[in-house]
Every structure is written in structure tokens, then in C-alpha cells.
Amino acid sequence: MRAVVQRVNKASIEIDGEVVGSIERGFLVLLGVHVSDGFTDADYIVKKISGLRVFEDENGKMNRPLSDVNGELLIVSQFTLYGDARHGNRPSFIEAALPETAIPLYEYAVKRLSETFRVQTGVFGADMKVSLVNDGPVTILMDSKKTF
């Protein structure tokens, strides 16, 4: 499972001109599911997001997790995180899980994170317009297979 975690001052998702999810200070998380992922991969990503210390402490150092700042999460399904453009210019998405695998793992991760944080989401598979104000900017890549 892959996640692109962006520290934001605010973020929102629109579908057909209607805002379906929005947050203030927190993380915008783009979440992709690999064809070989399982619940242990989701648990790994949930743990990493929950403990990620990228908010400033009293000394101005990135040392505080989301929970310390009462941060929120906006989680967006993103199969294109597994796009492979190494061979030509048109990405291949064969490494991205099909919906019957991806949806339960995506929903599981959302549920687990919702136990601790206020979580908003997009709509799986929808054409979404994502807006954000990246704070920093701070953008962290995560991969349950630890490929980066």
C-alpha cells in the first residue's frame, strides 16, 4: 500500500461541483492499493500515518504527530500511485489492485484511522477535484513494501 501524505492547512474534494469532504489543519492522504496488499499492509500505513511527526514543536522542529495538533485527515483513493511509466509515456496500472481488492483495504484503513482522528474521504472511483493548501510544503511518501 502506498500513501502520499501532505501536511495541509486545509483541503477539500469536489465531485460534480459539490464539496464531499473537507478538512482544516492535518493531512491530505492519497492512498493506493497494490495487487498483493493485505490487511497487514493497511495496518502498516495506518500506524505510519498516525505516528508521523511533521508538525512543529515549541522549538520549531518537526516533532509532533497529528494527534498533538488535533489534526484531521482527508483520505483519497488513488490507484495511479501504482502507475508505471518506465517503459514509454503511457503508464501501466497493472500493479494497482482491482476494486474488489482495493475497496475493502481502503475502507479498513479509513475505519482504523477514524478510531483516532476526524476523517473525511472522497468517493472511491469517482472523478474528484482535490484542492489543498500544502503547509511547508511537507510531503512524505510511504510504502508498506518499503520500496521508498
Mean pLDDT to the nearest integer, 69-85: 97
The average confidence (pLDDT) of the chain is 97
Do the beta carbons of residue 5 and residue 47 sit within 8 Å? no
Q: Is 78 a catalytic residue?
A: yes
**Binning pLDDT at 50, 70 and 90, where does residue 55 land?**
very high
Q: Is 80 a catalytic residue?
A: yes
pLDDT exceeds cutoff 90 at 120: yes
- CA distance from start to end of the chain: 12
The confidence score (pLDDT) of residue 147 equals 82
Q: How many residues does the chain have?
A: 148
The confidence score (pLDDT) of residue 117 equals 98
Q: Which residue among the candidates 6, 78, 120, 121 is catalytic per the annotation?
A: 78
Q: Which residue among the candidates 6, 27, 55, 79 is catalytic per the annotation?
A: 79
**Binning pLDDT at 50, 70 and 90, where does residue 104 land?**
very high
What are the DSSP calls for 70-114, one per residue? T-EEEEEE-GGGG-B-SSSSS-B-TTBPPHHHHHHHHHHHHHHHH
Chain centroid to Cα 130, Å, comes to 12
Q: Is 55 a catalytic residue?
A: no
Domain 2-143: give its CATH architecture: 3-Layer(bba) Sandwich (3.50)
